[in-house]
Amino acid sequence: MKYISQFSNRLTQAFKRIEELEKENIKLRKENVTLRTLKPRPSKTGSMKSPSPKGNHHYAQPTASSRNKVKSKPQEAENPNPKSPTFTGRDGATYIYKDCVPIMITPEDDYGWPSSPRYMHSTCSSSEREAKGWVRGWPPLLPTLKKEINSPPTPPPSPPLSASTTLIEVENKPEDDLAERSRLGDDLKLGIHILTDSKTNLDYLRKAAEIAQKSIFDVGKIGGLGRWRAGYSDVFKDGPHLIRLGRDELMSWLGEFPTSELRYNGHPDWKVYLSLLGLVPLRNTISHPSAYELQDSGRTDRLLKSAQEVSVILGDEKGALEIRAMRDALLRDAHNAWQSIKDLYYLSLLPSEERLDFKYHQVNLFEYALLYSDRWDEVERDLYKEVLAVASAWDSKGE
Domain contains 252: yes
Establish if 340 belongs to a structural domain. no
Residues 284 and 358 in one domain: no
Instruction: Return mean pLDDT, the chain.
Output: 75
Instruction: Kindly report which listed range (4-18, 180-194, 237-251) carries the lowest average pLDDT score.
Output: 4-18
The predicted model gives 295-314 an average pLDDT of 94
Q: Is the pLDDT of residue 144 over 50?
A: no
Please state the pTM of the whole predicted model.
0.54
pLDDT at residue number 4 = 57
Does 39 or 66 have the greater pLDDT score?
66
pLDDT of amino acid 164: 42
Task: Report whether pLDDT(147) > 50.
Answer: no
Q: Could you give the number of structural domains in the chain? A: 2
In this structure, are 308 and 384 located in the same domain? no
Confidence bin at 245 (pLDDT 50/70/90): very high
Mean pLDDT over residues 138-160, rounded? 45
Average pLDDT over residues 112-141: 57
Cβ(282)–Cβ(192) under 8 Å?
A: no
Residue 86 has pLDDT above 90, yes or no: no
Q: Please compute the mean of the pLDDT values over residues 364-393 and round it to a whole number.
A: 78
Higher pLDDT, 91 or 169: 91
Q: Is pLDDT at 351 greater than 80 in this prediction? A: no
Q: Assess if residue 71 is contained within a domain.
A: no
Chain mean position to CA 143: 18
Rg of the chain in Å (alpha carbons): 46
367 plus 312 within the same structural domain: no
H helices of the chain, in order, are 6-37, 64-72, 124-129, 163-171, 174-181, 198-220, 232-235, 247-254, 269-277, 280-287, 291-294, 297-313, 317-348, 360-372, 378-383, 385-396
Nearest to 363 by CA among 141, 131, 198, 142: 198
Q: How far is Cα of residue 251 from the mean position of the Cα atoms in its chain? A: 24
Residue 194 falls inside a structural domain = yes
Is the pLDDT higher at 100 or at 327? 327
Tell me, yes or no, whether 331 and 366 share the same domain: no
Range with the poorest average pLDDT among 18-22, 139-143, 177-181, 227-231: 139-143
| Distance in angstroms (rounded) separating the CA atoms of residues 275 and 81 | 47
Q: What is the pLDDT of residue 79?
A: 58
- Residue finishing a domain among 335, 362, 379: 335
Residue 320 maps to a domain: yes
Give me the domain span that covers residue 255: 175-335
- Which percentage of the chain shows pLDDT scores above 90? 25
Query: Between vectors from CA 390 to CA 386 and to CA 396, what angle results, nearest 5°?
Result: 145
CA-to-CA distance for 257 and 273, rounded, in angstroms? Answer: 8
213 or 92: whose pLDDT is higher? Answer: 213
| Chain length of the chain | 399
pLDDT tens digits for range 255-299: 888 888 888 888 999 999 999 999 999 999 999 998 888 989 999
293-302 confidence digits (pLDDT tens):
898 999 999 9
In a domain? residue 285 = yes
The predicted pLDDT at position 379 comes to 76
The pLDDT score that the predictor gives to residue 73 is 53
Highest mean pLDDT among 32-36, 76-80, 148-152, 166-170: 32-36
Q: Give 72's pLDDT tier (boundaries 50, 70, 90).
A: low
Sheet holding 101-105, edge to edge: 86-88, 94-98, 101-105
Most confident region among 84-93, 95-104, 234-243, 371-380 by mean pLDDT = 234-243
Q: Spell 39-66 as b/e; 16+ CB within 10 A means b.
A: eeeeeeeeeeeeeeeeeeeeeeeeeeee
202 and 252 assigned to the same domain: yes
What average pLDDT does this structure show over 5-26?
85
Last residue of a domain, one of 283, 307, 335: 335
Query: What was the pLDDT predicted at 306?
Result: 95
Residue 114, phi then psi, degrees to nearest 5: -65, 125
Higher-confidence residue of 193 and 332: namely 332
Residue 214 covered by a domain: yes
**230 and 316 both lie in a single domain:** yes
Specify if 95 maps to a domain: no
